[in-house]
Amino acid sequence: MDLFVSGVVFLDIVFTGLHRLPRPGEETWAPGMGSSPGGIANLAVAASRLGLQTGLGAAFSTDAYGEFCRDVLREQDVDLRPSRCFEDWHSPVTVSLAYERDRSMITHGHPAPVGPDGLVGELPAARAASVSLTGERLPWVRRAARSGTLVFADVGWDDSAEWPAAALDALEDCHAFLPNAVEAMHYTRTDSPRAALHRLADRVPVAVVTCGADGALAIDAATGETVSAPPVPVEALDPTGAGDVFTAGFIAATLWQRPLRERLAFANLVAALSVRHFGGSLSAPGWSDIAAWRATVRDEAYDFLDDLVPAGGPSRIRRAMATIARLPDAA
């Protein structure tokens, strides 16, 4: 494999076209709705669409939601052999309400029948792996790093608001860390994304801080090289999964051995292209999306794309479906 990822797959249901959230006692009709696999599936699909041979280790329920997610992921060429299916456990579900170029989410789920390390089992051989830090040291991450796999890490929101520095101890097994600006500043106790970036460079070879509409920053601790990527102007409809798409783009460009500046620019671009569509995983751009953007934007900062975009016809892209459906019914 080029990339192995492990984590939780949610069924994402996105209601679109809302002008505001309903007040208590009100009912609001949404002009549109889409559904797709979410959670760690966002990163897996984004990487697969960029041509990486991607494997996923996750728990799936045997219910209709789980079957839908598995079918979509297989269609997107994600290798599910490291994953496991369970009965008497239902799929985690996230409902996302997209409005004013942002979204609010409600999630329901129960703990998986097996812990994160139990999902991995026999660790697949991979050039790179992605993990979300939770404060718990996962043995498979250390095994992957010791086998020569480049481990890329991100981190989730801390509901406790404690932001313990110990949660970053697992970075000693990681090649790169890619938090967003708010997370980075909280964990490093700094007051700016750039200050947080330099603090993180003391803990990991490559540190990246994403700044949403303000672009991204990165530093190579070994060389001291610091680069930034400006925002890419697009019409933003739904930011769901954009961080995962960014990570997939950065991993891909790293495996292609591109310079740090190009890695950051490419990741920033694919993340920006993803927010033009609704849904998480299925909003990730394919090479046809990237080629179409490049044909209209001749910014010399992206000249490296001319070497990356593969020749040939448009790539096969599927967007979020209007409803949850079994594939035979959809056909």
Residues 251-280: tens digit of each pLDDT: 999 999 999 999 999 999 999 999 887 777
* Virtual torsion, Cα 164, 165, 171, 173, nearest 10 deg: -80
- As a whole number, the mean pLDDT across the chain is 88
Token look-up 């313990």 returns 164
Task: Judge whether 234 and 215 are in contact, CB under 8 Å.
Answer: no
Out of 110-124, 136-150, 228-242, 296-310, least confident range: 110-124
Is 314 within the bounds of a domain? no
Domain assignment present for residue 318? The answer is no
Structure tokens given for 216: 């991204």
pTM, rounded to two decimals: 0.91
Q: Classify residue 321 by its DSSP letter.
A: B
328, part of any domain:
no
Q: How far apart are CA 198 and CA 220, in angstroms?
A: 10
Residue 325 lies in a domain: no
Residue 77 structural domain: 3-20+31-309
Phi, psi (degrees; rounded to nearest 5) at 137 = -75, 120
In a domain, 301, yes or no: yes
Is residue 321's pLDDT more than 60? no
- Which 3 state secondary structure label does DSSP give 164? coil
- Name the region of 7 (left: φ>0; alpha: ψ -120 to 50; beta: rest): left
Report the domain count for the chain. Answer: 1
**Predicted confidence band of residue 327 (pLDDT cuts 50, 70, 90):** very low
Per-residue pLDDT band at 151 (split at 50, 70, 90)? very high
- Whether 331 is covered by a domain: the verdict is no
Is 320 part of any domain?
A: no
Residue-level pLDDT at 283:
85
Residue 128 included in any domain? yes
What does the pLDDT average to over 116-131?
A: 84
Each residue's pLDDT tens digit, 46-78 = 999 999 999 999 999 999 999 999 999 999 999
Alpha carbons 246 and 253: distance in angstroms, whole number:
11
Angle between helices 40-49 and 242-255 (to 10 degrees): 40
Banded model confidence at residue 312, pLDDT cuts 50, 70, 90: low
CATH number for the domain spanning 64: value is 3.40.1190.20
